[in-house]
Structure 1
């Protein structure tokens, strides 16, 4: 994650794609017929969140917004998205994973040594950017 390498002088972050968050829930969930989920829609629903220690800073800001809106909505914390998906399948709640309506986005990229940029590395990054492109 970009925020984890900002303090490293010889390392730079090369962004590959910017992703959006999605609200994950069972197909028969009360909110599943909505095209876009807002923070208001999530009020009084059990939220399953990624562990704050291992989740991206962008996601922490979203969790803070949810907590500010309704402090009791985040019921569970998990350390892996697969665990969250299992809990959702079992009816424990909904989660925000990487379109939930928010101005936050998440940057996916590669960290590399600024002093060791070869043409092969530059080519790899360009190919990765083309391969990672996803239309909204």
Structure 2
């Protein structure tokens, strides 16, 4: 029966070219490599290497076999990396991926509820942008994520939880602060703190908020994060279109927010690796999330997505 150690030795020998290098890579002796290869040949029923003058030259069969080995070994390597990640983590810890703005506004409210159920459970927070959130989920490096909605992706399950209207952030004493609602036309002659698109091929935030029939304002500064846009507004560099989660923080720091007239909204989801079953910690984190977003005192701007 073929053993994993034999396949590992074969792969190392094919990749390094010599038994000495293969042995060094696997931290075993050179004779041990030779023995593993001989045993593998016996189990397979065909020769993998021609031995001549102390060298081992791969046969045509070995080259063909290597293609199958590489295809399957990648899956084994991924399992090994996942296992290593799990070993390094605490056995009963929850790993959460979350966008920076949500990790400093919505997530603390959720964790207050979660810790009422699991007061002693460690929580690891991976605060990254939306594209990185998806990578963390696909690589099984986190148990759950809170993010902006995204198109269907293999290996990830999503649950829509929240739909939030966008706001216009203005410096204090800005002339537009007297208006109840800000429109795209109001910003034509304004400096607007803009966005660096995460997906160059997708619709940009500028296109969403300022359609083709509306003259685009000037964008003196562009950035990835909402916190940075709020900060630029607070320091008087311009106005910006922002999500509402940071409003409570930044209205205490020189920013005025007004409703912005647009059909565009921000849709948020809970996302999970597609592993079938979910742990008790993940289920209870979801429960805590729903308690927070359904509480108008904690999230006053929210209305649930249909």
TM-score (norm 2): 0.38
The structural deviation recorded for 1:131 is: 1.0
Structure 2, gaps ≥5 residues long: 1-147, 244-258, 302-306
Q: Does 1:2 align with 2:162?
A: no
Higher helix share: 2
Q: Distance in 1 between matches of 2:236 and 2:285?
A: 42
Q: Distance in 1 between matches of 2:167 and 2:194?
A: 13
Q: Distance in 1 between matches of 2:224 and 2:274?
A: 32
1:56-97 CA distances to partner (integer Å, 9 max, x unpaired)?
A: x78x34x11426322343332123323322321232210001
CA RMSD of superposed structures (Å): 2.4
Q: Distance in 2 between matches of 1:67 and 1:76?
A: 20
What is aligned with 1:46? 191
Structure 1, gaps ≥5 residues long: none
CA shift in 2, pair 1:103/1:88, >3 Å: same
CA shift in 2, pair 1:76/1:88, >3 Å: same
TM-score (norm 1): 0.78
Higher strand share: 1
CA shift in 2, pair 1:117/1:107, >3 Å: farther
8 A Cα contact 1:44 1:70, kept in partner: no
Aligned length: 130
8 A Cα contact 1:66 1:73, kept in partner: no
Bigger relative contact order, structure 1 or 2 (CA pairs below 8 A, ≥6 apart): 1
Q: Which runs of 4+ in 1 moved over 4 A?
A: none
Matches within 5 A, 1:31-70: 31-53=176-198, 60-61=204-205, 63-64=206-207, 65-66=209-210, 68=212, 69-70=214-215
Larger Rg: 2
